[in-house]
Structure formats: structure tokens, C-alpha cells
Amino acid sequence: MNKTLVWFRRDLRDYDHAALYHALKCSGAVYCAFIFDTAILHQLPDKADRRVEFIWESVRELKQLLQAHGGDLIVQYGDAREEIPRLARGLNVDAVMVNRDYEPAANARDTFVAESLAADGISFHAFKDQVIFEQDEVLTQSGKAFGVFTPYKNAWLKKLNDFYLQPYPVDHYMHHLAKVSPTPLLALEDMGFVRTNLAAMQLPTGVSGGSRLFMNFLERIGQYKAARDFPSIKGPSYLSVHLRFGTVSIRHLARTAWQLGGAGAESWLSELIWRDFYFQVLHHHPRVAAGHAFKPEFEHLAFPNDDALFKAWCEGRTGYPLVDAAMRQINQTGWMHNRLRMVAASFLVKDLLIDWRRGERYFADHLIDFDLSANNGGWQWAASTGCDAQPWFRIFNPVTQSERFDADGKFIRKYVPELAACNNKEIHAPWLMPEMRQTMLGIRIGRDYPLPVVDHAMQRTRALAMYKQQTNPE
């Protein structure tokens, strides 16, 4: 090929990049582009969106990296279905290359773009890049998709070898980047978005930020398995948003964990395998992206859907401290600890009896690391409607979870400071404190902090009856 255009999307890095590698290797001149896609941006409810700011900062760094190699990143704002074919025609390229996306809307967009390009004699090529194994690469012995994680994980590990983890040597071919005059980067504000508290959160962006976080995590990966469930401990890698936007390479992460071995690295590798698992679930069952339950018998659960209870959950004022701390964390930072995602989701569905789809949508709007497949998979796991889900009769006790995973109340005190004076026992169920003790602490439950909006034991009974009705309809 003479000239090729690489369209960056969820892969904002200049190394170990499948589409960039293939384009550079087979082309004399490679152009690079990123589109701030209005088909996506116009759907965002809040113009102070941390994800858009994270992307903008990462795009800015990628642009600088490509310029350092003698190329550039062409950044445009518009509908990608129109902008990419228009740009490809203007540059007179022979092909457009991308890394494959797995979400139904993205597939439809790419099909549209490919057909539009074909009408102009331009080919469209997609490559695997954001997962280790995709689509039909890991199947059961009968050739079907896995619906349970552990057998999938075993098959995944059995198939794994150095070939699937080897990096794409992009640097060897960087001299094939098209020599172009650097173009300015449109400002965040030019697209109608505003700055958030991203900088104050000290979440580093771009390729350099992803590398810095991973190097830090490697110093404590040995303790990952023991520390990962406790929200007040620095246990996670904090790389989820970097994985979401491809500022790190999944092959590099998985290869490092696989080669390190040990309980911590193996536990973290298992989390990366969960990510692949949910991608293949989405590929084989795209209906889950349209709000359908993976398990058809739970498609029409009779949720009461009390709007006042949903609002209390969203605002972190349910009266259950760990749940409220979790919701305040997502509202203030755009991130939530994984253990708390399970606790908050279970509480919404099985204590407040709110349809899991409403919670899924809230997380989709607020999580900086929102990924459709993992978010849907996590919510359906918590709601017992998904593949390999929590059994419907198993319901988290929010107080027990609090006592177990935030025993000293450190995380609760950070996000629910009105309870800071409570001792380590009182803080998990403050409504049980005698009035005299509340007076002594200068706090009144029901005034300074809410009474529980529901009784867990009563709601548990209601939830069990609701699910049982679907499993044994009369």
C-alpha cells in the first residue's frame, strides 16, 4: 500500500499497537487520526465529564509522541461515520486500519464506515488489540461460547503462550509515518466541555500516566490478592481507565503478570481474564447491551422501582454507611472500588428492589472507567440475571460487608465525615447507637445522617419472594 490512515479509538498509545504496526509495516506513508465523535459526545448528560477530559489529555500526549517521531495525530470533532471517509478521501489513502471494538454500536459504526470507504475504493482493516483472546478464540470443546467463568479461565490459560503476548514492534517502522506539518489541537472547551477535578484526583493520564501507575503497582502486586477487597488500602492497580482507553497495552500487562507468577500476580491476571470473558459474552450475546437479562427467566422481575429510594442511593444517603460512602466516592471521583461496586449494586437491586438496569445506567454515566461489557457483566452478576452470576438467593448484608471490608471505618470516615466520631463498632450501623451516645458524639441519626431507608431483613424476604416467583411461576 502507498498510503494508509490509522484511526485511533480505544488505543491511545504509540507502542505495541496492532493497527499502527500493520499500517507502518505495509505502507510508505501512514497518517494517524482521532475523532471526537459527536455521535457519542452529544449523548453525555454532563459537560463536566472526566472521561472526555481524560481522553483529551491522552490525545494531547499521543499527538506529541507521534510528532516526536516525525508524524502527527490529526484530531477532528464531528460524526466519525462522516469524518473518517472524508479524511480518507482527502488524504487519498489506500486503506483505513483500526483496532477492533466489540460493542454493538461500534460494530454498526465500523460497518457503515467500511461500506462508505469501499464505495471510494478504500479498504478497511480491523485487528485484535484490546484483548488477549477475542470472539471465537476460546470456546468449549463442543465449539460453544462459555457461560461460566472458571472453565473459560482454564481454557484461556491452557491456550495462552508467548505468541499471544508478544508485543507489536511499532518502533521498527516509525519512519513510515507520513511527514506532515503539525496541526493544532482543539480545546476541550471548543467541544462544549469543561474541566473537572481530574487533576486534583492525581490520576495521571496518557501513555506516561499508565506506565507510571503500572510501575507503582508492580511494587505491591505481590500483596494484591490479600489487599484487593479492602477499599481503604492501596490494593488495586488503578489501571482500569487506562485499559478502557488503551493508554496501556493489555499484552504487556498480561505478559508481566503471567511471567511474574505468585498469588498476587495470578489473582490480578484472573481479573484481566474476567475482562476478556465479558467481551466474549458481549460478542456472543449482543442482546445484553440492549438491556436484556442474560438469563431469560429473569427478564421481567417485578421490581417496585421506588424513585425516592433510587434517589437516596444515587446521592449516598441510604443510611447504610458503606453503601453511602461508595456512592459518594463515585460521585466525587468517577471511580469506585471493585468490592464496593458489588456491595452497592447488590444493595440497589436486592435491598431497595430497583431494576438493575437503572443502576447500570447510573454507573455508565458516572464511571471514568466505564466499559459496557464489564459494567453490564458486573450488574447482571450482582442482580443474579447474568452468566455465572451470584445465586439469586445469596444477598449481601450491607452491615456485615462493612464490618468485614472496612472494619476500622477508615473508608467510611473519608466519604461520610458526619460519622467520623463514631467508634469502629458504631460506624457500621449508627442507628443502633443509644440517644445518649449520639448526644455525646454531637450527632443525631435521622437529622445529621439518615436513618436506614429500608430494613435489610424485611427487604431480603421481599427480594427472595420476587426472584422465587420468576423461578417457580404459578
| pLDDT digits 0-9 by tens, 191-212 | 999 999 999 988 999 999 999 9
Domain membership flag for residue 172 = no
CATH number at residue 382: 1.10.579.10
User: pLDDT-based confidence at 474, cuts 50/70/90?
Assistant: low
Residue type, 402: S
Do 346 and 236 fall into the same domain?
A: no
User: Which helix (DSSP H) or strand (DSSP E) does residue 7 occupy?
Assistant: strand 3-8
Note the pLDDT of residue 471: 78
183 domain-assigned: no
Does residue 175 lie in a domain region? Answer: no
Is 41 found in the same domain as 141? no
Mean pLDDT of 114-131: 98
Same domain, 230 and 109: no
Average pLDDT, the chain: 96
Q: List the CATH number of the domain containing 43.
A: 3.40.50.620
> Would residue 196 count as lying in a domain?
no
Assess whether 300 and 419 both reside in one domain.
yes
Which domain covers residue 382, as residue numbers? 296-468
What is the per-residue pLDDT for 375? 97
Decide if 348 is inside a domain. yes
Q: How far apart are CA 471 and CA 474, in angstroms?
A: 10
Give the end of a domain, one of 264, 284, 304: 284
In the chain, the number of structural domains is 3
Helix (H, G, I), strand (E, B) or coil at 429: coil
Q: Is residue 214 part of a domain?
A: yes
* Cα–Cα separations (whole angstroms), residue 169 to 21, 127, 198, 277, 437: 7, 15, 32, 27, 65
| CA distance to 270, 310, 335, 361, per residue, from 376 (Å) | 18, 19, 16, 9
**pLDDT band at 473; cut points 50, 70, 90:** low
- If asked whether residues 151 and 218 sit together in one domain, one would say yes
**Are 77 and 149 members of one domain?**
no
The answer to whether residues 122 and 135 belong to one domain is no
Model pLDDT, residue 1: 72
Residue 347: which of 366, 331, 367, 325 has the closest Cα?
325
Give mean pLDDT, residues 149-162: 97
Question: How much is the pLDDT for 202?
Answer: 85
Q: Is residue 188 part of a domain?
A: no
Give yes or no: residues 125 and 141 share one domain. no
The last residue of a domain, from among 114, 129, 144: 129
Same-domain pairing of 302 and 319: yes
Q: Do 136 and 66 share a structural domain?
A: no
R_g of the chain, CA atoms, integer Å: 24
pLDDT at 11 exceeding the cut of 60: yes
The 10s digit of each residue's pLDDT in 241-261 is 999 999 999 999 999 999 999
State phi, psi for 383 to the nearest 5 degrees.
Answer: -85, 0
Enter the pTM of the model.
0.95
Instruction: Report the CATH number that the domain containing residue 276 is assigned in CATH.
Output: 1.25.40.80
Whether residues 245 and 109 fall in one domain: no
HEC string of 139-174? CCCCCCCCCCHHHHHHHHHHHCCHHHHCCCCHHHHH
**Three-class SS of residue 448?**
coil
- 332 and 463 housed in the same domain: yes
Q: What is the pLDDT of residues 347-365, one digit of tens each?
A: 999 999 999 999 999 999 9
Q: Of 249, 284, 319, which residue constitutes the final position of a domain?
A: 284
Whether residue 178 is contained in a domain is answered as no
Residue 270 has pLDDT above 80, yes or no: yes
Q: Report whether pLDDT(391) > 90.
A: no
